[in-house]
Structure 1
């Protein structure tokens, strides 16, 4: 009885295939030719693979070959014994592709994870574009609940109703990022959008703020465009992102969209390799030119006290150095800049020692910019360090042209005696790379009654130089 039923079923399938005219040469993909008929089976087949299997990339081949035997193993003729044009396609072809990051073409959700349509739906994602040569769907995972957990190569943590602002509330929303893939060594968090209540005048985040497990900084105000790395050393690992709104009576609404990317440090994918940061870098800039600024920077309020972190800039083999400068002062926005004291005790100079500027080089500057030992004075407290920094336009043969520490309003020697408008002439670094800046802020907050002049933050333009640096 069972044999008769089986024989009847096989005849039915053969009739269907003949009616559909499904015939292909070697390497044909049945699942694409009769997607409407076998699509459900194909996607269920994909879902049976473990995560380890899904992360490997294979070409398509007949089901029998995936399990280690060919037609000849089953007593039939070898494929070489028959003409290629006369072969009938094996019914089941398996297409395996890696569940890695993909592009959606959507500016608000630029990246997702490549899954089949069925898997994307089953895992709670939203399809936004295709991937894997059309066999997969770029799946976006968004989390806005009070508490949620995610274990995906790419995911988003957003305020409810994004891209619209959310009304003030007294709640803490937590996203727990789970890292179970032992190839993942870093998690990068991009602040695609982050506009919330600013810190108070002395740098304390009070009404709306974000904390990230493994990162000492606290984020509030406007940090759109910023990013941080969390380095992973043990498995499984979990990283909590917590956004806190302390009061339903807060002065402003809140808006945030954080893109969380788990970085596979053993991947051969070039885009993934580009994202991997050197060990110890909280921030890593891969573009040859751009802007670096302190967290929570608004040009009016102080940055948070007690900070120590490293900012890195990528150096390619062809690159010889990098130049840092303050962008030109914007007289319309009037955003102040200062690392530590607004006015330092001794002006930055390329002259002998760290004093008044005698010697070869660019000469004496103003006390709006400090460098060298001046920045290490306890009365100043905060500094930026460029380990192999050299003052712009100085003679490289003069040891005093090299300065590691910078503070005040400008970067390098400042010759502009009128305020505002402090820029400094800039600093170069010809070190081996990656290029690094270290930022240190002590535990002191600026003394103020109404306005802040000290500790307002930094805004630095950089440009990597290729070829031969002169």
Structure 2
């Protein structure tokens, strides 16, 4: 009998302990849930009852449908479709065993269901049916794999419509004024963010700055600030060293004699970006900035509009590139191309019917090409040729040089180079591309062997006699780089040591197809 009483006492003590543990666990779960709410409230100013309550980030317009490839530079250009049920079939037992388990028998499946219903705001405030609402209160916050840093993995993503965005929990996407489009792993959404106002501030990667829906008045100014600071919660894990601007669309008033009346300019970056205007859809810029891990930086993007009725519209994608990334552009490269073939154009060049001045004044920047693998080996040669035009305009036209002596015909092709010209006169004296020019170091005509370092005129040809034909120009100098420079006027300027003056009129700039070999 005494043995029975001893066993009964042990059972009763175990039951009491379980009850105590159960009450303690409920208290721990409630405390953890409260900490979760307080964390979002303190970190983001987020009110779970009103996801649009943030005073800083407000909802913005939807991005129109279009495709804008990022030249293959984004590490994750498109996230794979994620199937949370995949690993619960027999074929994926090993994969399941390698994953961290949650508090449920279903492991991370339960975590994904909670993330989808609770943390990702899939059930909108207007929908009162929330099947996981009570369940979430019983699950420790540790089930959410991103609770310790819900913004620490803002990887790039691409929506089904081709828009670039970031992977984020749905509630955080709403907090920043974005819209979900497509899905990412771990129950996140591909968040697309757009701003359609002047005078705002951008802190989120892959943000689109779009022209206002109402017509832009002239004269006026429209500016935007891009802020980089590791103290910002959305940038804690990613110090920024570069900004890439992709001009998805860009249309402003055409220049007057090469000088911009409407102007787009950049301030606050360590690299110098030229002032541009006109038509620049499809162009891009890389801007170097001090590492945000060392000092906070504000970069200003500004449009100044002059009087006139020209159409002004733009859609600029702003990408913040982290320090140490393999896809950063080399220092002092305003443009950077990362394919073995492609097309490069001067700002405001267009294939149009009117053969008018499209070359912009005061341009000075480097265009760089990453050395790609060609047939399994690193490319050793970069070749450029003038692109084919379908209208009456020209694919190449940079200030025509003048001849130094009256007895020599004007040369429309090359200038300063290593070759020699007619009657032994050095090419440097004949061409004199000292005002507006395209510099290709080590460039050689693939057919004739003539070489030059600077090009201007109406033909891309290092041969002084090649005034009527463009040539295929190749260089073996690596890293592959082209420099474009123009002066501050399209008026004719007297040249030292020259009898005649250069024909600095009706310049269109350049459009070149390139290929690495």
What is the TM-score normalised by the length of structure 1? 0.69
What's the CA shift string for 1:75-129, capped at 9, x where partnerless? xxxxxxxxxxxxx99774132361122111324xx21122111111112222222
Flag the 1:389–1:335 CA change in 2: closer, same or farther, 3 A.
closer
Flag the 1:347–1:456 CA change in 2: closer, same or farther, 3 A.
closer
Deviation at 1:237, TM superposition (A): 0.9
RMSD: 3.9
> Which residue of 2 is the match for residue 190 of structure 1?
246
1:229 aligns to 2:286 (yes or no): yes
> Which residue of 2 is the match for residue 436 of structure 1?
481
* Match of residue 407, structure 1, among 434, 445, 456: 456
- SS of residue paired to 2:421: coil
Flag the 1:130–1:372 CA change in 2: closer, same or farther, 3 A.
farther
> 1: CA distance between counterparts of 2:317 and 2:121?
33
> Which residue of 2 is the match for residue 135 of structure 1?
187
- SS of residue paired to 2:111: helix
Moved over 6 A (4+): 40-43, 88-91, 349-352, 414-418
Contact 1:300 1:452 in 2 (8 A): no
> 1: CA distance between counterparts of 2:341 and 2:223?
34
* Match of residue 151, structure 1, among 195, 203, 227: 203
- SS of residue paired to 1:218: coil
> Which residue of 2 is the match for residue 354 of structure 1?
420
Contact 1:116 1:136 in 2 (8 A): yes
> 1: CA distance between counterparts of 2:469 and 2:317?
33
> Which residue of 2 is the match for residue 266 of structure 1?
324
> 1: CA distance between counterparts of 2:331 and 2:116?
48
Gaps of 5+ in 1: 15-21, 44-87, 268-272, 360-369, 396-400, 466-470
Moved more, 347-356 or 209-218: 347-356
Flag the 1:373–1:105 CA change in 2: closer, same or farther, 3 A.
farther
Contact 2:382 2:516 in 1 (8 A): yes
1:279 aligns to 2:331 (yes or no): yes
> Which residue of 1 is the match for residue 144 of structure 2?
94
Deviation at 1:463, TM superposition (A): 1.0
> 2: CA distance between counterparts of 1:9 and 1:349?
82
For these two proteins, the number of residue pairs brought into alignment is 372
Deviation at 1:458, TM superposition (A): 1.2
What is the TM-score normalised by the length of structure 2? 0.63
Flag the 1:23–1:177 CA change in 2: closer, same or farther, 3 A.
closer
Contact 2:419 2:427 in 1 (8 A): no
Flag the 1:152–1:280 CA change in 2: closer, same or farther, 3 A.
same
Deviation at 1:223, TM superposition (A): 0.3
What's the CA shift string for 1:180-216, capped at 9, x where partnerless? 247321101011101222112x11121x331112444
1:211 aligns to 2:265 (yes or no): yes
Gaps of 5+ in 2: 1-18, 31-101, 124-137, 147-151, 231-237, 404-409, 494-502
1:339 aligns to 2:404 (yes or no): no
Pairwise mapping of residues 452-463 of structure 1 onto structure 2 (< 5 A)? 453-463=505-515
> Which residue of 2 is the match for residue 328 of structure 1?
388
> 2: CA distance between counterparts of 1:120 and 1:371?
60
Pairwise mapping of residues 411-426 of structure 1 onto structure 2 (< 5 A)? 411-413=460-462, 423-426=469-472
